[in-house]
Amino acid sequence: MFVRTAGERDLAAVRTLLVETWHATYDALYGAAKVTEITDEWHSIASLRSRLTRPNSEFLVADDGKRIGGMAFAAATADAKVILLNQLYVHPDCQRRGIGQSLLDEIEDSFPEAQVLRVEVEEANSGAIAFYRSKGFLPVGAATESRDSSRPTMLSFEKPLG
């Protein structure tokens, strides 16, 4: 798969990727109905479309010409030296093939002035935590619980860049 900037024509495939990946990851934790509720809100076409034009951001897809196997979205924070990796997902059928690494590499290359790449990971997502730790991300601070009790506890990780 090759990594490229996402476009309008990719949004339906990206949504499908996100829905399938979220169900594979979170159904056992939260139930399929709750995962559907979350993906309908967070991964709607309108929500994805808004990312295409967000300033100081990068929206990428991993594409083999037949399917979208992964996606990533990152944006600069108020401090342009800190980039927040909002999303990096690889379809379960495509995991462990270097796609996540390729997406991560391209995100890092997209922000040459950045000094830190930050990501928040749901505490229960041990696979994602292991992935980020293997890529040089280190935990920063303690777990922070969401003010909204229906939202999970998130862990913050950072990777120094440059």
What's the number of CA atoms in the CB half-sphere (13 Å) around residue 2? 4
Going by pLDDT thresholds of 50, 70 and 90, the confidence category of residue 146 is very low
CATH H-level superfamily of 2-160: Gcn5-related N-acetyltransferase (GNAT) (3.40.630.30)
DSSP alpha helix (H) spans, 43-136: 45-52, 99-110, 126-134
Record the pTM. Answer: 0.91
pLDDT digits (tens, 9 = 90+) for 76-128: 999 889 999 999 999 999 999 999 999 999 999 999 999 999 999 988 899 99
Adjacent-strand bridge partners of 84: 75, 118
Adjacent-strand bridge partners of 57: 75
Domain boundaries, given as residue ranges, for the chain: 2-160
Q: Which two tokens stand for residue 162?
A: 């440059």
